[in-house]
Amino acid sequence: MTLLQELECRLAAALTAVLGAPAQAVVTPTADLRFGDYQSNAAMVLAKQRKVNPRALAQEIIDHLDLTDMALAEIAGPGFLNFRILPSAYAARAAALIRDERLGVPASGAGRTVVVDFSAPNVAKPMHVGHIRSTIIGDSLARVARFLGFKVIADNHIGDWGTQFGMILVGWKTLLNPAALETDPIAELVRVYRDINAASQGDAALLESCKAELVKLQAGDAENLAIWRQCIELSKRGLQKIYARLDVTFDHWLGESYYNDRLAGLVDEFLARGIARLSNGAVCIFSAGGKPPDDDPFMVHKEEGWTDNPALIRKADGGFLYATTDLATIQFRIDEWHADHVWYVVGVPQQLHFRQLFEAAARWGKTGDFRHIGFGSILGDDRKLMKTRSGDNVQLADVLAEAVERAAAVIAEKNPGLPAAEAASIAEIVGIGAVKFAELSQNRLTDYVFSWDRMLALHGDTAPYLQNSYVRIRSIFRKLDAPFDAAACQLLLTQPEETHLARLLVRFGEVVPTIVEDFRPNLLANYLLELARAFHSFYEACPVLKSAEPLRASRLALCELTARTLQQGLHLLGIKVPDKM
Ligand code: ARG
């Protein structure tokens, strides 16, 4: 049980005693330590219901509250209950964490299955910085969910069956450079696609042949299918390299094409059950009514007022759409994988698609906890969408390469004596970590400005700062001449800096579960920064190796617990730690 949960239990017992009926209690961490560590507004809520004086009721609750060995309570303002945790309680809890592999994080997801749908780039198109957000946020959420005990299925729902294949097929047959395909398949496929796309502007005949190739592919033409398969393989190979560099893994790669043979039957079922109907030859899902229009994803407000905003699941020419595939995908994930939750980590512009999708699925009887986890854009220095100097989308692979290059320069300046191979592997860890942390420390919904200098600073709110904190702690242990056994020592919190560090260490188990409440890895990122700062204040105020026993062992144990928590926390963000920097 976390400290917060234990406080809630004890408070609930007191409320139950005061009310003479079973009661629950909510406790939250205070925003400001001057008001103690935790607080509850239970007395105020209850006093309002019972029309009594809140401060008097708060006193009555305190009189029934058993906080032995745990905390002191006081009444503040209009009737807040503030709790100050005793240093001895922090010491006892932190000591227990030393023996706990999970560092106090509860297995709150046990018994539930979650599908995390993230990254999902489109084949033969490069992954750009927009995909970076999905990949990094999605991977972190999958890691956190796994650590919380969920059964996690990471699924890369790649766009491998789009209309882009008409152009790619024509390009493959007329423009392909086999040598270029060999060295950089994604780049060559993209080039071919781009060239045909450009050439087809205003060339009706070319556009027609693209369409014809697409129709042949969809009808199962052997030659086109073979080319298509090769495109997918080549693209996957290119993507794998990027994922390897990012240390991102998937359990499945079930792309859009996987669902092809389920689509026709799905549309028939929607028609037969009246969930969809024909409209101008197309099959559409319309509003089912019963909701205010501003809350109905199948209605839209235009100049003339509220009008229908249907979701198309079959075009008049018989083609299927993104929504059709996503409905089939939901069915598969529920029936085959028994998913309780599906988390879609996809940019905000697709919000309407997901609102319609979730409602259509519910009408179809596919129930589960489906969430669209949206995010904003990445902006360049000019605060406009990030582009290269020539105006192209920035490619993820280039971002990663530049991050590592810049990290190498930072490392070379900080520690010029490192052997080249070691410096290179540290630069890789620091560079990739910096990019990830810059992403994950932001509120995912806000646009953020991409800045190399800011994300690589050794003394900012950055991954290198956290990695460096970890390395500093490790270097303390390298100075010892005998192995240190943290589990064998007693924790003594004698200085406020020690207590504060223990307080934060104990809070790790409370922070991690909150990440998946609203899908905010930035809560963990900010916690880790706070922890590192608390460590540095502690290290300045409290001599470690030079203090006498038993304080020396106690402080070493705090150091070790801090290092483990930093390492585990960064791991949940998908960020590695080096041994040296
Ligand atoms: N391929 C899509 C894109 O790049 C994202 C797919 C997201 N996942 C899903 N099930 N719709 O925009």
The pLDDT, as a whole number, for residue 401 is 94
User: Average pLDDT, whole number, for the chain?
Assistant: 94
Nearest ligand 1 atom to alpha carbon 329: 10
Radius of gyration of the chain from its Cα atoms, rounded to whole angstroms: 28
| Contact yes or no for 440/448 (Cβ under 8 A) | no
- Using DSSP's 3-state secondary structure scheme, residue 308 falls into strand
C-alpha of 158 from chain center: 18
Give 262-288 as a DSSP string. Answer: GHHHHHHHHHHTTSSEEETTEEEE---
| Residue of minimum CA distance from atom 4 in ligand 1 | 121
Residue 247 exposure: Cα atoms within 13 Å on the Cβ side:
17
Q: Which residues contact 462 (CB under 8 A, 6 or more apart)?
A: 434, 437, 438, 454, 455, 456
Ligand 1 neighbourhood includes 256 CB (under 6 angstroms)? no
> What pLDDT, on the 0 to 100 scale, is given for residue 123?
85
Inter-CA distances, 208 with 140, 189, 317, 321, Å: 44, 20, 15, 20
For residue 90, the model assigns a pLDDT of 97
The secondary structure of residue 55, as a DSSP letter, is H
Q: Is 344 in the pocket of ligand 1 (CB under 6 A)?
A: yes
Task: Report percent pLDDT > 70 for the chain.
Answer: 99
Q: Which residue's CA is the closest to the ligand 1 atom numbered 3?
A: 121
Q: How far is the CA of 164 from the centre of ligand 1 (A)?
A: 15
Distance CA 439, CA 132 (A): 9
Does ligand 1 come within 6 angstroms of the Cβ of 188? no
CA 353–ligand 1 middle distance (angstroms)? 10
Atom of ligand 1 nearest to the CA of 357: 11
Residue 157 Cβ < 6 Å to ligand 1: yes
d(Cα 329, Cα 555) in Å, to the nearest integer?
53
- CB-ligand 1 contact for 120 (6 Å cutoff): yes
Residue 393: which pLDDT band, with cuts at 50, 70 and 90? confident
Q: Is 430 in the pocket of ligand 1 (CB under 6 A)?
A: no
Domain boundaries, the chain: 3-85, 164-246, 406-572
Band the pLDDT of 154: cuts 50, 70, 90: very high
Query: Which of 164, 350, 353, 366 gets mutated to test ligand 1 (max ligand atoms within 8 A of its CB)?
Result: 350
What CATH architecture is 3-85? 2-Layer Sandwich (3.30)
Q: Is the pLDDT of residue 129 over 90?
A: no
For residue 179, the number of C-alpha atoms closer than 13 Å in the C-beta half-sphere is 0
pLDDT digits (tens, 9 = 90+) for 304-363: 899 999 999 999 989 899 999 999 999 999 999 999 999 999 999 999 999 999 999 999
Residue 121 Cα to ligand 1 middle (Å): 7
pLDDT band at 474 (very low <50, low <70, confident <90, very high): very high
Phi, psi of 352 (to 5 degrees): -65, -45
Question: How large is the average pLDDT for residues 380-403?
Answer: 80
Do 331 and 262 touch, CB atoms closer than 8 A? yes
**Overall size of the chain counted in residues:** 581
CATH code: domain 406-572 is 1.10.730.10
What percent of the chain is modeled with pLDDT above 90? 86
Cβ neighbors of 466 (< 8 A, separation 6 or more) are 437, 528, 529, 532, 566, 570, 575
Confirm whether 3-85 and 406-572 share one CATH topology: no
- pLDDT > 90? residue 394: no
C-beta of residue 227 within 8 angstroms of C-beta of residue 132: no
